[in-house]
């Protein structure tokens, strides 16, 4: 008998691997009639000191990211996932997802891509490894 999930958390950042992770999360959510929670993290370390002090800049970046994640939510709904939620968090992706997002969402499974698109966390392999090591729930790393 295959494992079924009630709530799946998927991290998205537009990297090729994250898009594959998102597609697989949609597949599993439909298969198991599970809730799909889509999260993206606004990485503060990608901003320079002036940008981090400018609340208008951060608000604008956050709003842009939130709008972008809404597109993922729409895509999941159009693909047939009935129960979809989205979240935008701030910080370092691996740590933020493990320490803040997972406790808030309480998923059965976290799905992430193995590589990130941009920034210091471009080497998302280290982010994915961090999440796989420290996550209190099962982690599926897609590549």
- Binning pLDDT at 50, 70 and 90, where does residue 134 land? very high
Spatial CA neighbour of 12 closest among 38, 46, 43, 49: 38
Q: How far apart are CA 143 and CA 129, in angstroms?
A: 13
Percent of the chain with pLDDT over 90: 66
pTM: 0.86
- How far is Cα 5 from Cα 35, in angstroms, rounded to an integer? 9
Contacts of residue 20, defined as CB under 8 A and 6 or more positions apart, other chains included, come to: 113, 142, 143
- What tens digit of pLDDT does each residue of 92-126 get? 899 999 999 999 999 999 999 987 655 544 444 58
- Residue 143 confidence (pLDDT): 86
pLDDT in tens, 13-63: 988 999 999 999 999 999 999 999 999 998 865 544 444 455 555 556 778
Instruction: Read off the tokens for 72.
Output: 């993922």
Per-residue model confidence (pLDDT) at position 59: 58
Domain 7-142 is found in CATH 3.40.50.2300: no
């Amino acid at each position: 008998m295959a494992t079924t999930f009630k709530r799946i958390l998927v991290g998205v950042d537009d990297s090729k691997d994250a898009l594959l992770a998102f597609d697989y999360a949609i597949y599993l959510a439909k298969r198991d009639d599970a809730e799909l929670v889509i999260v993206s993290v606004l990485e503060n370390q990608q901003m320079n000191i002036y940008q981090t002090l400018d609340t208008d800049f951060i608000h604008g970046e956050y709003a842009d990211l939130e709008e972008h994640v809404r597109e993922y939510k729409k895509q999941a709904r159009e693909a047939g996932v009935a129960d979809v939620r989205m979240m935008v968090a701030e910080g370092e992706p691996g740590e933020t997802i493990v320490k803040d997002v997972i406790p808030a969402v309480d998923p059965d499974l976290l799905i992430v891509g193995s590589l990130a698109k941009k920034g210091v966390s471009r080497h998302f392999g280290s982010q994915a490894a961090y999440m796989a090591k420290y996550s209190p729930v099962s982690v599926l790393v897609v590549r």
